[in-house]
């Protein structure tokens, strides 16, 4: 079965993203038959009347979905969900990092990091709300006396009445899980302290906790006699450095998200609102098995605020600068990409002399930037300045570079172009099971050294109040020494008519 088929079929497997309603499958089948010339017989029984009565907005959505399906969904070819062995390997790497950092155990409650090590998110454990009863995963390193080999011993502090539900989660362990139960009238943190997993220690147990750990749990652990520290060092780096399987998923979801934007753009027409485009893009992503979780569509002056804030009612016109920042999930991993472009019904000019001043400022002028790093407001075109800033930042994605250097490289280009004050945010961040995760690429982060396997966004931008904003965002992976960073978004934008 192809990845496309497996993502579209109604499947209850825990790794599949969501069940597809039958009517969506029917629409996709109709689209396929339409594209392959078999629509006549299909629509005799169903759909011909439906096709004829589609509104203009519905036709826009069908065009967008059909275009993305017509790519063959090539971007899914090398993506597959994590296996039990992958999770075991992650916990072993965590155990080794705990030894390196001289920490006795790592403790986390359901959330992104719990998902990384045991495949349980917060909503999967508590569908109603994060509650007051702690359910904790505790990972301790175990050093084999004879060989010195380090393995991971994992236990779960769990309310007694929830123990069976914890087992039913089907967490990725070869053997049955070890549960430390606590009754409602017990102190759960003292229960953990007195459990057999810490009896071998002659000192106060040192716990490292994730940044998602709620304060009352950290205080409870401290009051029970644990020495609690925040996430740092080699332990933090475990999740930062991606495996080949993780990179395959990140490449699939990020390339697929960019492709969805490109294919949707071909179908744009005048009069669409920001909200309508966002909804159609979300539905396009969902139609191929990607799960959108944010979608920012901004036109012209609305894009001068990087994350929007307006009501989505602005209307698309010919010379509108469209900024789209969108993210989706696949197998638990995130995309986060941004493109800035003109709509397809605004033709690329052969001569700029007759264009308005505002459009000239937006336009790409590739004959200017590559030749000089000394620009003036008079001859700088914003799209190209931002692109060059991204280019320079990419050159810093190598081992032993600092996180700060990536930001500084991009910021220097934008500052020299006269737009320094209009670049209002950091240049990027780590990406994985969270769209935003450490390390963070800002000019003050001089202490974080890049390592091979770290994945980052590079997303410089220029935001001109009451005029427009422009941002380019792609995903890159730091490679071993001497190897160019790996691009996980297929290809970078080529220009405002080819995002």
pLDDT band of 30, cuts 50, 70, 90: very low
Is residue 449 within 8 Å of residue 247, measured between CB atoms? no
User: How confident is residue 36, by pLDDT bands cut at 50, 70 and 90?
Assistant: very low
The domains of the chain are located at 84-240, 244-346+370-487
- Give the residue-averaged pLDDT of 28-38: 46
pLDDT tens, position by position, 415-441 = 999 999 999 999 999 999 999 999 999
Residue 387 is encoded by which pair of tokens? 């692109």
Helix (H), strand (E), coil (C) string for 249-301: HHHHHHHHHHHHHHHHHCCCCCCCEHHHHHHHHHHHHHHCCCEEEEEEEEEHH
Residue range 469-482: mean pLDDT, rounded: 95
Residue 371 has pLDDT above 50, yes or no: no
What pLDDT, on the 0 to 100 scale, is given for residue 349?
81
What pLDDT sits at residue 7?
52
How is domain 84-240 classified at the CATH fold level? Creatine Amidinohydrolase; Chain A, domain 1 (3.40.350)
Kindly indicate the confidence band of residue 362, based on its pLDDT and cuts at 50, 70 and 90: confident
The angle subtended at Cα 447 by Cα 445 and Cα 452, nearest 5°, is 95
Confidence of residue 499 (pLDDT cuts 50, 70, 90): very high
491/74 Cα distance (integer angstroms) = 14
Position 377 pLDDT exceeds 50? no
pLDDT exceeds 80 at position 372: no
CB 405 within 8 A of CB 426: no
Q: Is the pLDDT of residue 358 over 90?
A: no
Between 267 and 376, residue with greater pLDDT: 267
* Run of H or E residues at 7: helix 3-8
Lowest mean pLDDT among 38-42, 142-146, 471-475: 38-42
Task: Return the closest-CA partner of residue 426 out of 441, 446, 439.
Answer: 441
Per the prediction, the chain carries an average pLDDT of 89
Residue pLDDT, tens place only, 248-293: 999 999 999 999 999 999 999 999 999 999 999 999 999 999 999 9
Answer yes or no: is pLDDT of 366 > 60.
no
CA distance 429 to 414: 19
Q: Can you tell me the distance from the alpha carbon of 274 to that of 232, in angstroms, rounded to the nearest whole number?
A: 41
- Of how many residues is the chain composed? 499
How far, in whole angstroms, is CA 163 from its chain's centroid?
A: 32
> Which pLDDT does position 351 carry in this prediction?
73
Question: Which of residues 364 and 127 earns the better pLDDT score?
Answer: 127
Per-residue pLDDT of 96-148, as tens digits, reads 999 999 999 999 999 999 999 999 999 999 988 888 999 999 999 999 999 99
> How far lies 373's CA from each of 18, 45, 131, 365, 463, in Å?
49, 63, 55, 14, 20
Summarize the confidence of residues 166-176 as an average pLDDT. 96
Q: What's the pLDDT band for 29 if we cut at 50, 70, 90?
A: very low
- Whether the per-residue pLDDT at 313 is higher than 90: the answer is yes
pLDDT, position 116: 98
Give the range among 115-129, 304-318, 365-379 with minimum mean pLDDT: 365-379
Report angle CA 169, 256, 395 to the nearest 5 degrees: 105
Note the pLDDT of residue 360. 77
The confidence band for 158, taking pLDDT boundaries of 50, 70 and 90, is very high
Considering only CA atoms, which of 230, 236, 251 is closest in space to residue 403?
236
Residue 235's closest CA among 136, 402, 403, 106? 106
Q: How far apart are CA 432 and CA 334, in angstroms?
A: 6
The whole-model pTM stands at: 0.87
Task: Spell out the CATH class of 244-346+370-487.
Answer: alpha beta
Instruction: Taking the CA atoms of 435, 439, 440 and 441 in sequence, report the sign of the dihedral they define.
Output: negative
Residue 150 predicted with pLDDT over 50: yes
Please report the DSSP string for 30-45 in residue order. HHHHHHHT-HHHHHHH
C-alpha distance across the termini of the chain, in Å: 32
Percentage of the chain exceeding pLDDT 70: 85
Cα torsion 372, 373, 378, 380 to 10°: value is 90
Q: How are strands ordered across the β-sheet holding 474-477?
A: 437-441, 428-430, 455-458, 474-477, 486-487
Q: What is the pLDDT of residue 442?
A: 98
């Amino acid at each position: 079965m192809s990845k496309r088929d497996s993502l579209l079929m109604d499947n209850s497997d825990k790794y599949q993203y969501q069940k597809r309603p039958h009517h969506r499958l029917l629409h996709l089948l109709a689209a396929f038959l339409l594209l392959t010339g078999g629509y006549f017989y299909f629509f005799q029984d169903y759909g011909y009347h439906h096709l004829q009565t589609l509104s203009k907005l519905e036709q826009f959505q069908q065009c967008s979905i059909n275009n993305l399906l017509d790519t063959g969904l090539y971007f899914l070819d090398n993506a597959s969900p994590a296996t039990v062995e992958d999770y075991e390997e992650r916990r072993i790497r965590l155990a080794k990092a705990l030894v390196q950092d001289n920490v006795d155990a790592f403790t986390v409650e359901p959330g992104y990091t719990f998902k990384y090590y045991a495949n349980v998110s917060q909503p999967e454990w508590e569908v109603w709300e994060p509650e007051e009863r702690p359910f904790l995963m505790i990972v301790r390193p175990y050093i084999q006396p004879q060989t010195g080999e380090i393995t991971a011993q994992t236990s779960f502090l769990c309310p007694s009445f929830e123990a069976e539900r914890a087992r039913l989660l089907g967490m990725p362990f070869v053997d049955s899980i070890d549960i430390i139960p606590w009754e409602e009238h017990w102190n759960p943190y003292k229960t953990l302290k007195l459990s057999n997993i810490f009896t071998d220690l002659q000192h106060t147990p040192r716990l490292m906790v994730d940044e998602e750990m709620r304060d009352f749990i950290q205080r409870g652990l401290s009051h029970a006699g644990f020495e609690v520290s925040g996430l740092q060092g080699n332990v933090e780096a475990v999740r930062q450095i991606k495996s080949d399987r993780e990179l395959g998923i990140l490449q699939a979801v990020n390339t697929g998200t960019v492709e969805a934007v490109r294919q949707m753009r071909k179908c744009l027409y005048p009069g669409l609102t920001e909200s309508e485009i966002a909804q159609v893009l979300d539905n396009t992503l969902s139609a191929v098995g990607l799960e959108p979780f944010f979608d920012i569509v901004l036109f012209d002056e609305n894009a001068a605020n990087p994350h929007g804030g307006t009501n989505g009612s602005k209307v698309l016109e010919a010379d509108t600068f469209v900024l789209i920042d969108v993210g989706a999930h696949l197998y638990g991993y995130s995309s986060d990409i941004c493109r800035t472009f003109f709509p397809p019904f605004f033709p690329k000019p052969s001569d700029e002399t007759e264009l308005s001043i505002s459009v000239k400022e937006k336009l790409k002028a590739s004959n200017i930037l590559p030749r000089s790093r000394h620009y003036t407001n008079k001859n700088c075109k914003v799209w190209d300045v931002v692109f060059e800033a991204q280019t320079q930042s990419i050159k810093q994605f190598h081992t032993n570079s600092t996180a700060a250097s990536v930001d500084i490289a991009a910021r220097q280009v934008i500052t020299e172009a006269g737009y320094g004050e209009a670049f209002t945010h950091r240049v990027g961040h780590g990406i994985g099971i969270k769209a935003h995760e450490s390390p963070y690429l800002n000019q003050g982060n001089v202490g974080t050294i890049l390592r091979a396997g770290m994945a980052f966004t590079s997303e410089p931008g220029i935001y001109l109040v009451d005029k427009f904003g422009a941002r380019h965002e792609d995903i890159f992976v730091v490679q071993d020494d001497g190897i160019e960073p790996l691009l996980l978004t297929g290809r970078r934008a080529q220009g405002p008519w080819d995002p």
